[in-house]
Structure 1
């Protein structure tokens, strides 16, 4: 039988990247105790006020069809939020609400790119981005995010990879997996390239509210001279500890939003009104749980650095935001994949191989910061012990 070309483009870009996580879940289901440090699941429950609002909305009959753009109250709340952030008027006509950041990014890419177009994207990158780009028929062009630059995208590296087929620069700030935050100056330099070559700037900003103390969030949307070519996407999944509700959005120029609307309507035709009501409450004020998460994740990143950096050849990158840190394990002589699989088998600690996030993170692992401090400390002891054994064998 014949299948659509998209199935070939995505054949190796799905669950295979999450093999270690899947094995760890299987071990746990079989009764094995595993320290699970693979995915970015918030370490607190969804705030009770949001649950109460969702229930109130359901009891009030907010269970019918919505529309392709989003519920009016949510659109107004998001317009107010981004108007306050940018210092200029953002209208409801610039916004579309979709189920989660992932769906929002997919809709944006379908609207702005197509077969043969090139998307300049940082490497390392979040594991699903390759699939999102490939699904449209576009081609991902990796731009190395170098450790010596704090894993922040540099305009010179982008410029060297621009071709006549380039269509978009895809940003993720704060960044997953490294926790890097682009500075306003770096964004301005990237924006100058986008203007010079007529490129779109797409920015995934789902970790905006999880910036650590001393860090400063910057967005291309906040730079008025880039407004006609910037689209940002976000959700309440991380900031409000509500990943299961799948409530996200994108913001861009009015013409972009109008062109995206039939794409969104073809995909889903509206999100759920009771979830929209909950999201309206969520985005109308700063998150009550984000600051606490950021403080705990920063503390755990520092704990990992103290216990692993320089130990048995390991090197820890300190993040500035988000739910993860990355650790260089090249001194062991193992790939990130081999290290992660061996660590799970021998020490019952599950981490993600760096290779799941691009070639630039080969020989690294990504470690989630979402378990409690005692679990993180125990995991570090096991990681150090495993690295010592493997380094000894490599020597």
Structure 2
């Protein structure tokens, strides 16, 4: 029987990237003592008030069909929030609601790219970006993110890869996996390229509320000259420790939202009303967990850098935001993939190889900062002991 071209385009982009994570989970299921630093689950449960709000909405009968755009109250709340944040008027007609950032990304990419197009995206990148771009039929064009530039995507590197086929630039700020934040100067330079070449800018801002003290987040949505070409995607997954609720959105030009609406309606008629009601409350009242998470993640990143820089030859890239830190493991003589499996086998710590996120961080691994302080301290001990044992074996 025949299968469609999309299945071939997405071949190898699913579970293969999570091989170390899955191997770690199998070992945990067998009873092994493994500290998992692989995925970005918040380190606190979803706040009780959000759960209660969703349950109350269920009891109130909020289980009917939704608008294809999303529930009116949630769209109004999002329009107000982004108007306040961007300093310019954002209408509820610029908002479409989806079940999570992932679905929003899928819909947006389907709306701006197709077969014959190219989408530029920083390498390393969030693990599903290749999939959402390839699903549209477009080609992924990686733009290397350089450690010496703080892993911030550089306009010159973007410019060198723009062709007549380029349709969009996909940004992540704050960035996953590196935790870097694009500056206003970065965005001005990238925005000028988008204007000059008539390109869309898609900005994934799901880590916006997990910015560490001393750093500043700037969205391209706040730059008036880019108002007709910026599309923001985000959700409550990280900011409100609510990934399982699957509640996200996109904010774009009104005409774009109107054109994307039939696709949204084809996929799913908005988000579920009882989840939309809870999300509206979350947006209007703000997060009571984001600040605490940001403080804890920043502290764990500091501890990781301090310990590994003084007790090993590993090099830690200090993140500015988010849930992760990147470690250069080239001093071990192993690439990131081999190191991750060796650490799992001999150090009992699970980390993600850099190659799960792109080709330019082959000698790096990503670790999650999301386990509690005691387990994180133990993980640091294990990583240090493992590296020192490797050095003895290779001496």
Partner deviation per Cα, 1:9-57 (whole Å, 9 max, x = no partner):
1111111101111111111111122101000000011111111111110
Provide the rounded CA distance (Å) in 2 between the counterparts of 1:389 and 1:377.
18
**Contact map agreement 2:202 2:230 (CA 8 A) in 1:** yes
CA distance in 1, matches of 2:69, 2:136: 21
Which residue number in structure 1 is paired with residue 168 of structure 2? 168
8 Å contact from structure 1 (residues 119, 168) kept in 2: yes
Q: Is the 8 A contact 1:331 1:391 kept in 2?
A: no
Under a length normalisation based on structure 1, what TM-score does the superposition of the two structures give? Answer: 0.98
Deviation at 1:269, TM superposition (A): 1.9
Deviates more, 1:221-230 or 1:304-313: 304-313
Query: Does 2:163 correspond to 1:137?
Result: no
Which stretch shows the higher mean deviation, 332-341 or 167-176?
Answer: 332-341
Partner of 1:244: 244
Contact 1:119 1:138 in 2 (8 A): yes
> Conserved in 2, the CA contact under 8 Å of 1:340 and 1:365?
yes
Distance 2:355 2:387 in 1: 18
User: What corresponds to 2:26 in structure 1?
Assistant: 26
- Given that 2:174 and 2:322 are in contact with CA atoms closer than 8 Å, whether structure 1 keeps it comes out as yes
Using structure 2 for the length normalisation, give the TM-score: 0.98
Cα contact 1:333–1:390 (8 A) shared by 2? no
For the pair 1:335 / 2:352, whether they are aligned, the reply is no
Residue in structure 1 matched with residue 89 of structure 2 by the alignment: 89
- What's the counterpart of residue 318 of structure 1? 318
Q: Are the aligned partners of 2:113 and 2:136 in contact in 1 as well (CA < 8 Å)?
A: yes
Aligned 8 A contact 1:333 1:391 in 2: no
Cα separation, 2, equivalents of 1:90 and 1:314 = 46
Number of equivalenced pairs: 395
Which region of structure 1 is more displaced relative to structure 2, 230-239 or 262-271?
262-271
Q: Is the 8 A contact 1:206 1:239 kept in 2?
A: yes
- Contact 2:145 2:153 (8 Å CA) reproduced: yes
Judge conservation of contact 1:308–1:315 (CA < 8 Å) in 2: yes
**Can you list the C-alpha shifts for 1:155-186, whole angstroms capped at 9, x where unaligned?**
01111111111111110000000000000110
Assess if the C-alpha contact under 8 Å between 1:312 and 1:391 holds in 2: no
What are the within-5 Å matches in structure 2 for residues 269-288 of structure 1? Answer: 269-288=269-288
Q: How far, CA to CA, are the matches of 1:125 and 1:346 in structure 2?
A: 28
Distance 2:393 2:200 in 1: 48
TM-fit CA distance, 1:149: 0.5
Which one is further off, 346-355 or 203-212? 346-355
Gaps of 5+ in 1: none
Distance 1:33 1:392 in 2: 24
- My pick for the range that moved more, 314-323 or 328-337, is 328-337
CA distance in 1, matches of 2:342, 2:210: 31
Deviation of the 1:393 alpha carbon:
4.2
- Give the CA deviation at 1:374: 1.6
